[in-house]
């Protein structure tokens, strides 16, 4: 049976992939198999991956809301932009959880030839990393060859700049994205030694796995939050479910201008998502 990806390409339906994504989101095997059984009833050739995803998400939500939220990660990342969140800051937050000293520079950094906007600077084990955070707001958008080549050119100009004392020294160049890399972008990146973290690479530590492993889910995984609530969280610089559960309910009530009951509900939802019920 074939389904249609967002790119328009037809691929054979793979139940193992669907099951793995549910298990990674925290569903137990019994729940995953029950959802798969329901999906099989509705599945037909020619369905889009978006339709398959919706069935799985709805069935998960009916059984366990917190698992559905985690399964909703990719859509949640797409909501980072409209909600006013900063993808660069989100990337820095993830790296901090992996013991990197990471921050978003508040000004451009001077290279040998020109000034550069640097998305994230991170340091670990005495190595300083130049990172480009590539946000894509559609599933079928790629980081392509020209993006990767431009990153490498910026990195080299900064390396040359550090050699003449214009900026700090950088040891590595990274690209982190919520999207995929094109084949040519990957080929060029591997050739030049650029560390690439995307939705599907590297297999041992994809972007999704990095988020899952440390439960750094953005508040946008909660589809029960209104746009107004998201905007107010953004205004106060609160972007992670982990950050929400560290706030007292009275303080959250004041920040969001909601009832005490609603503030407690939001904290509880975030607690379930990060596994701290």
28 CB contacts (<8 Å, ≥6 apart)?
A: none
Q: Do the domain assignments include residue 44?
A: yes
192 plus 236 within the same structural domain:
no
Instruction: Provide the number of structural domains found in the chain.
Output: 3
Last residue of a domain, one of 164, 183, 214: 214
Q: What is the pLDDT of residue 277?
A: 53
Rounded to whole angstroms, the Cα distance separating 204 from 201 reads 8
Q: In this structure, how many other beta carbons lie within 10 angstroms of the beta carbon of residue 202? A: 12
Shared domain for 150 and 165, answered yes or no, is yes
For residue 227, pLDDT over 90 is answered with no
Q: Residues 235, 205: one domain?
A: no
CB 122 within 8 A of CB 95: yes
| Domain carrying residue 260 | 215-273
Angle between helices 15-24 and 49-63 (to 10 degrees): 40
| pLDDT higher than threshold 80 for residue 241 | yes
- Of 56-70, 223-237, 260-274, the range with the highest mean pLDDT is 260-274
Does pLDDT of 149 surpass 90? yes
The answer on 262 and 190 residing in a single domain is: no
Please check whether residues 178 and 110 belong to one and the same domain: yes
Residue 76 within a domain: no
Is 77 domain-assigned?
A: no
In a domain, 80, yes or no: no
pLDDT at 159 over 60: yes
Distance CA 209, CA 222 (A): 19
Q: Within 10 Å of residue 174's Cβ, how many Cβ atoms?
A: 21
Structure confidence at residue 116 as a pLDDT band (50, 70, 90): very high
Judge if 113 and 160 occupy the same domain: yes
pLDDT range class, residue 102, cuts 50, 70, 90: very high
Question: Which residues 6+ apart lie within 8 Å of 188 measured at CB?
Answer: 145, 148, 149, 152, 194
Q: Any residues with CB less than 8 A from the CB of 138 and at least 6 apart, and which?
A: 6, 78
For residues 40 and 92, state if they share a domain: no
At residue 276, the pLDDT reads: 63
- 14 and 67: one domain? yes
- Confidence at residue 175, expressed as pLDDT on a 0 to 100 scale: 97
| Structural domain contains residue 78 | no
Confidence at residue 83, expressed as pLDDT on a 0 to 100 scale: 58
Last residue in a domain, options 166, 190, 214: 214
Q: How far apart are the first and last CA of the chain?
A: 40
Query: Which of 8-17, 67-76, 152-161 is the least confident region?
Result: 67-76
Q: Of 71, 102, 119, which residue sits at a domain end?
A: 71
Is residue 147 domain-resident?
A: yes
- Most confident among 14-18, 166-170, 177-181 (mean pLDDT): 166-170
The verdict on 204 and 219 lying in the same domain is: no
Q: Are 135 and 252 in the same domain?
A: no
Query: Given this model, what pLDDT does residue 144 score?
Result: 95
Structural domain contains residue 266: yes
- Provide the pLDDT for residue 85: 58
The residues, any chain, with a CB within 8 Å of residue 23's CB and separated by 6 or more, are 29, 32
Residue 40 is assigned to a structural domain of this protein:
yes
Give the residue ranges of DSSP H helices in 116-205: 145-163, 183-192
Q: Where are the beta strands (DSSP E) in 118-271?
A: 120-124, 127-134, 142-143, 172-177, 180-181, 195-197
Q: Which residues pair with 140 in a beta bridge?
A: none
d(CA 221, CA 78) in angstroms, rounded, equals 10
Query: Is residue 148 pLDDT above 90, yes or no?
Result: yes
Give the CATH number, domain containing residue 265. 1.10.150.20
Shared domain check, 127 and 61: no
Task: Give me the pLDDT at residue 258, please.
Answer: 95
Report the CATH number at residue 96: 3.40.1350.10
Same domain, 129 and 208: yes
């Amino acid at each position: 049976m074939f389904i249609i990806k967002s790119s328009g390409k037809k691929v054979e339906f793979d139940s193992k992939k669907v099951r793995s994504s549910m298990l990674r989101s925290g569903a137990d095997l019994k729940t995953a198999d029950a959802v798969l059984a329901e999906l099989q009833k509705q599945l037909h050739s020619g369905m889009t991956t978006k339709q398959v995803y919706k069935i799985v998400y709805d069935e998960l939500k009916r059984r366990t809301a917190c698992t559905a939220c985690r399964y909703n990660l990719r859509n949640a990342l797409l909501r980072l932009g409209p909600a006013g969140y900063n993808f660069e800051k989100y990337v820095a937050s993830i790296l901090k959880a992996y013991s990197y000293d990471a921050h978003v520079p508040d000004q451009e950094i001077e290279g040998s030839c020109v000034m550069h906007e640097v998305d994230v600077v991170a340091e670990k084990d005495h190595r300083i990393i130049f990172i480009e955070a590539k946000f894509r707001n559609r599933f079928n958008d790629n980081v392509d060859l020209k993006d990767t080549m431009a990153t490498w050119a910026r990195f080299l100009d900064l390396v040359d700049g550090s050699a003449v004392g214009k900026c700090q020294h950088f040891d590595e160049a990274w690209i982190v994205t919520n999207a995929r890399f094109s084949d040519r972008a990957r080929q060029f990146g591997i050739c030049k030694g650029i560390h690439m973290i995307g939705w599907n690479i590297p297999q041992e530590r994809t972007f999704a796995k990095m988020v899952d492993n440390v439960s750094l889910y953005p508040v946008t995984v909660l589809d029960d939050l209104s746009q107004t609530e998201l905007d107010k969280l953004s205004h106060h610089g609160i972007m992670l479910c982990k950050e929400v559960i560290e706030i007292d309910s009275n303080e959250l009530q004041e920040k969001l201008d909601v009832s005490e009951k609603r503030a407690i509900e939001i904290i509880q939802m975030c607690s379930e998502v990060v596994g701290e019920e």
